[in-house]
Chains A and B, each alone.
Chain A
Amino acid sequence: MRKLLLVLLIICSKITVDAQDDFKQYGKVGLEAIDYKFCPFDKAAEAVVLSDLGESYFVQTSNSFEVVYERITRIKIFNEAGIKWATVEIPFYREGTVYEKVENLEACTYNFQDGVLTKSNLDLANCHVEKINESWNQTKFAMPNVKPGSVIEYKYKIRSDYVFNLRDWEFQWKIPVLSSKYIVKMIPFYQYSWLLQKASKFDSQTSNVDQGLEQNFGGAKYHDVISEYEMKNLPAFKDEEFIATSDDYIIKLDFQLSKVIQITGTSTNIMTTWPELVNEFLKNESFGGYLKKSREIATKQFDLSEFAKKTPQEKFDSIMTLVKNNFSWNKTNSKFASKSPKNFLKDKYGNAADINLFTIGLLNAVGIEAVPVIVSTRKNGRIKYDYPFSRFFNYVIIFATIDGKNILADATEPQAANDQISIKCMNDKGLMIKKDQVNWIMLQPLLASKKVSKLVIDVSDLSQSAGIETSETNQDALNSRNEFASDLNALKKSLTDKGYNLPDSSLSIISSLPKTPYQFKYKTVDTPEIINGKIYVSPFLHEIIKDNPMKQPTRTYPIDMTYPTKRTYYSVINSPKGYKVDFVPEKIRIDNDLFEMDYNAIVDDNKVVVSFSYYFKLPVYNAVDYGKIKYYFNEIIKKGNEKISFVKN
């Protein structure tokens, strides 16, 4: 019999799991698990996964196979916060010909009270099926009789005729895991490759030929090959701010069908190499085929003669503008077109691939060199370069070359400049789809997004007024165009929320068009800050952040700031009448590979001129630099909010 825990030594590493017996262990919990009071390597954890065991295997149907996934999970709940783990959701898939089914569900709660171990079984009448969307459902249930100290256990089977994706296995949970094991029994007709994310190795990994009876499928004789992957004592997965998606950081095992072998011996490669994958895309009817048809339709449907005398840059801009103005994005990310170019032209809306591939077709038709780049959006996670799987990608953008200059573009974003991609696409690298070539394109910009504010401040005993002009470029500008565009009310509200008091009609937007910086200016009036007879002026008013965005004391993951940022502030403060400058802050300069900061204040006759700039040079910083980044923000806040003082003559 398997020992779940050694009674005397409550040390996780000592817990042994014998997988062969594990599936027979359902319903037999030892007092050790009940007595278990906290997780030794995470004493604050609200619950712990005692064991999590999964198995995928194939069973023959009349003329094919289906894959069965079995799982048995045992969780110990320590406190009230852990009770949420007693609500269980089991997702399953149904679409087209795929019909998954949850079977043999059993669940029970163990409690030890007044010297008695009680077991409460889940009444299946209390299970409910929620329809998440057209393809996904989930079986949901709340475990009965759960309180701090309970051990819960549930097991189920999912039968699926969809062999393309073997179920992935997440070793890590948001609570610590003592033992997690996944067993896969392979048959020779499907070959899978696997990928372990965020861990270099398993605690144990074995692979053996099944010693049982020989199996027979259509005359082909075979034995299952049983692979076991096990990990122990996994820390709780912690979500942090400033990461693109937490999916990139959880420890998990991914399976991908790589080859299908017929009984006749012929095989079809599913997983390929990067060059093959690129060529596959070009052959695909909804990608390369769509692209080709777009080119043809462009020559037929549009009068291209007017483009003839334009420069390449003008051609590019007018095609981009044409698409942005006439076609709209249905908010669906996709790497494949959803309809024919003819229907796209008729409907005038489509997914990201419909729009961007069509745009590439148009660009090519007028003689601009442009190719698609397939990408994975930030929420979709990073590309794993060792694994040429097309499913990692979920979006396509435009790569154009104009006068020798390379440009990334996205026609789904009407507010973006023509040579700008949206933030959701700024995720590591994308793959260019060009025949027989493998080119990885950096998607996170190295060019800083800039914001410049110029302030002129007049102050007296009675009032303080200022004129402020702000100009933003790149992503900062795109953010403002998306948020405010030319809506004065919305912009005014955001400035008021920052702390400014704008007199009526003092705000004007100088430019909000995609190709120009986003620029606006306004006036603000306030009461002066007079303390003990002196006037104090904050040279940059409310322009500088006042709270450090890096709030947590420590950091585990890289800090993804998406793109580099540069901020520049100039301020001219006219000395109040009857006063002279009493104090100006010291100058300061920081300059290294990560960050740059400059502060300078000069007294010039009756005015003080202060300049301040800072520059976060990288889109992504390593976790080890967290302390530095936090410190830089502190310096920005400290320096940027320092005041000038004036004293009576």
Chain B
Amino acid sequence: MQTMTNNIYIKSHVFCLVLFLFLSARSYSQIPEAILTTQHTSASVKNEKLTILRSYEILINNRDGDKYAKVSIPYSKLNKVSNIEAFIKDIHGTIIKKLKASEITARSEMQDFSLYEDSYVKEFTLLHNVHPYTICYQYEEQQSSFLYIDDWTPVINREVPTLNATLSLEVPKHYKINYYSQHIDSLKTDTLENTIQYTWRTKYTTLPEPEIYSPDISNYYPTVLIVPEKFNYDKTGSFKTWKEYGNWQYSLLAGLNVLPESEKMKINSLVSGVTDKKEMVRILYHYLQDETRYVNVTIETGGMKPYSAEYVAVNKYGDCKALSNYFKAILNYVGINSIYAKVYAGDVVRKVNLKFPSQQFNHVILCVPLQSSDSLWLDCTSDGPFNHLGTFTQNREAFLVENNNSYFTNTPRLSKENVLVSRHIKIQKDSTNKMITKFRNTYKGEYFDALSDVSKSLDESSKSKVIVNHLIEKGFAINDYKIKSYHRDSDYISLNYSATNERLFQSYGNEQLIKVIPFSLPNFKNSKVRKFPVQLNYPINNSDTLEYDIPTGYSISSIPQNVSFNTIYGGYSAKYEQKDHQIQVVKNFYINSGNYPLEQYKEFYEFVKKIMDIESNCYIVTKKQD
């Protein structure tokens, strides 16, 4: 399992819909389907060339484990794979089938948001019917241009244990490496005549399924990352310090900032008469958003070296690197300094290992320092508001690439106010005397990111599918909806819809219960079940105003009590107010962002549970008037 890649190609909020989707829920049973009995990786660097031999032995215990008999070996132009050998052993260790070269197939394998990458996989299947059986395979990789000697995680699947894994590396004595390791049992260093040999050893016992708001699972896998201190990847560079790494990245950008004359004329006309720097950046950022689009093409060292500004100016597309570099060139042309900033983007925050200078990033954004105010942060792949970093890039360590002065700084974090979801809900009779519920929802934060993306990038029927399946309050049947977008630089968006819910008013003889529409709370499991700590990357903040028309002929006989409490984890309040034949409910709940260790979970869960209990059983009681 490769947990990190050397390449950068991410688009801002590529469908944040994952948020709404269910995680697959197959629990692990006692007998593992398969066991990775041995994994040996031996790497050597000779004459600046890296050769790696990888070998695997997988014991397949039952039919469910047969899926591990299908093997995929990644390769690319820079990483050549050869000498694939594979066979099946039965329970007695007898070789019963050997893989023929003709049984190996190859195909492209690229990330789904890419137009093209020169990456492929070789695949084969070695299936046997009598369980258990063992498949053994090995292959060789060769690279002469590399940023990682290896990114080693000897795990084939979270549910498959690894009994015995070793990584060995042999390098010439003068050849310096840096490494980072986690969950590793031992490291042995051996000095031979002309070389040094390192051997890491580890094993892996399975991990439970990741839970809601648990940290990135890669933190829990055994991993060794090794980088050469000096490398040659398009240009020569060094990982000795972050500064030196920054210099190398800076050198890759050299000469890529030339804009065609026609482009310069266009820019002149756009900013003519504008003197305020921030305003200038805003105008040009809008121009960038309107004229270009995200297209990722990665070939050879293209993961680190962007297409030129000229290429983007002609084709009007590029990936995060190319678009950032192009926009940097535009700003440079109008005399505004900006900095190429590398980050590790994603909905879950993953820390950069600051003690290990290496290529730990998957995205590029632009930082524009201004004297008059805070720095501006621009995601050049985003169609979103100016100077807005969403859940994808907020609160990260950004590596700012400058000549001889590269450094880390933090991107702004989303505050409680930045993520507010507020709903104004009216429950009233329509013209046909039917109770109808009208929602006016305004989203910020993750839902803003997702809904804006849905609103802009999907056709009408897919849009309706997403909204109806994921955004409509549970239990409601929708009549119609409307997405309302505001000025392009707003960080909020509205969704208004009307819907019916037959269960909102429940009649029991002379009594009628009116359900107080609850919040959609995150489905935290109780503390006996929870396995991982909680990592909330940004706060959760919801506020509802409900207005119920009490049906004619009924009078209110009881309303829930007002509640309000705050803890270190967050808070909740609900306030009921009766006005004539109407009841207004104002509710709010929020959870603070932060990392809550497992020891604290019991307390954390008590806080969440308290809200769940109030919310799930909350009714206004009315009585038929005599």
Contact = CB atoms under 8 A, between A and B. Distances in A.
A84 interface: yes
Nearest to A483: B26
B490 interface: no
Nearest to B480: A553
Interface stretch (A138-146, A198-206, A304-312, A566-574): A138-146
A328 B66 contact: yes
B478 interface: yes
> Among the interface residues B128, B314, B472, B477, which one has the most CB atoms of the partner chain A within 10 A?
B477
Interface string B575-602: 0000000000000000000000000000
Contact of A551 (B25, B293, B317, B469): B469
B459 interface: yes
Given A174-B459, A487-B29, A548 B293 contact: no
A131 B109 CA distance: 8
Interface string A319-338: 00000001110100000000
Interface string B427-450: 000000000000000000000000
A435 interface: no
B535 to A, nearest CB: 22
A239 B461 contact: yes
Interface stretch (A52-60, A290-298, A595-603, A637-645): A637-645
B101 interface: no
Interface string A81-106: 10110010000000000000000000
A156 to B, nearest CB: 17
Interface in A516-573: 527, 529, 531-532, 536, 546-548, 551-553
Interface in B283-320: 290-291, 293, 295, 297, 314-317
> Among the interface residues A45, A236, A494, A551, which one has the most CB atoms of the partner chain B within 10 A?
A551
Nearest to A137: B108
A466 interface: no
Contacts of A483: 26
Contacts of A630: 477
Interface in A107-140: 120, 123, 126, 128, 130-134, 140
A213 interface: no
B233 interface: no
A241 B29 CA distance: 33
B502 A330 contact: no
A128 B115 contact: yes
A144 B314 contact: yes
B456 interface: yes
A497 B525 CA distance: 9
Chain B interface size band reads 35 or more
A348 B129 CA distance: 5
A120 B529 CA distance: 59
Chain A interface size band reads 35 or more
Nearest to A415: B63
Given A146-B293, A638-B502, A553 B478 contact: yes
B58 to A, nearest CB: 17
A490 interface: yes
A436 interface: no
Interface string B499-515: 00011001011010100
A84 B115 CA distance: 11
B423 to A, nearest CB: 18
B110 interface: yes
A8 interface: no
Interface stretch (B7-15, B348-356, B366-374, B613-621): B613-621
A348 B461 CA distance: 46
B129 A347 contact: yes
B139 interface: no
B607 to A, nearest CB: 17
A45 B459 contact: yes
Given A146-B316, A490-B26, A532-B558, A547 B475 contact: yes
A582 B513 CA distance: 14
B125 interface: yes
B619 A531 contact: yes
B520 to A, nearest CB: 13
Contacts of A424: none
Tell me whether chain B's interface is mostly helix, strand or loop, or mixed: mixed
Contacts of B174: none
B569 interface: no
A390 B512 CA distance: 63
Contacts of A44: 459-460
A644 to B, nearest CB: 9
B405 interface: no
Contacts of B95: none
A238 interface: yes
Nearest to A645: B508
B46 interface: no
A142 B478 CA distance: 38
Contacts of B63: 328, 414
B291 A142 contact: no
Contacts of A552: 464-465, 468
A637 B293 contact: no
B316 A147 contact: yes
A150 to B, nearest CB: 10
A131 B120 contact: yes
B103 to A, nearest CB: 11
B106 A81 contact: no
A349 B127 contact: yes
Contact of B290 (A123, A134, A147): A147
A408 B36 CA distance: 40
A416 to B, nearest CB: 14
A144 B29 contact: no
B107 to A, nearest CB: 5
Contact of B513 (A142, A326, A487, A531): A531
Nearest to B97: A347
Contacts of B116: 128, 130, 140
A431 B464 CA distance: 39
Given A348-B129, A582-B509, A634 B477 contact: yes
A219 to B, nearest CB: 42
B397 interface: no
B457 interface: yes
Interface string A622-644: 00000000100010011001110
Interface in A452-501: 483, 487, 489-490, 492-494, 496-497
B479 interface: yes
> Among the interface residues A44, A142, A414, A548, which one has the most CB atoms of the partner chain B within 10 A?
A142
A80 interface: yes
Nearest to B67: A331
A327 B127 CA distance: 11
A46 B454 CA distance: 13
Nearest to B623: A532
Given A84-B457, A643-B506, A130 B127 contact: no
Interface of B: 25-29, 63, 66, 105-108, 110, 115-116, 120, 125, 127-130, 290-291, 293, 295, 297, 314-317, 383, 456-461, 464-465, 468-469, 472, 474-475, 477-480, 502-503, 506, 508-509, 511, 513, 525, 529, 557-558, 613, 617, 619, 621
Shortest 6 CB-CB contacts between residues of A and residues of B: A348-B129, A128-B116, A583-B508, A489-B27, A144-B315, A490-B27
11 contacts: A44-B459, A81-B458, A120-B315, A126-B315, A140-B115, A144-B315, A531-B617, A583-B511, A630-B477, A642-B506, A643-B506
Given A241-B465, A634-B502, 20 more contacts: A87-B295, A130-B108, A131-B106, A131-B120, A132-B108, A141-B115, A145-B316, A146-B293, A238-B461, A328-B127, A487-B27, A487-B29, A489-B27, A497-B25, A551-B469, A552-B464, A582-B509, A634-B477, A637-B502, A641-B503
Interface of A: 44-46, 80-81, 83-84, 87, 120, 123, 126, 128, 130-134, 140-142, 144-147, 174-175, 236, 238-239, 241, 326-328, 330, 347-349, 414, 483, 487, 489-490, 492-494, 496-497, 527, 529, 531-532, 536, 546-548, 551-553, 582-583, 630, 634, 637-638, 641-643, 645
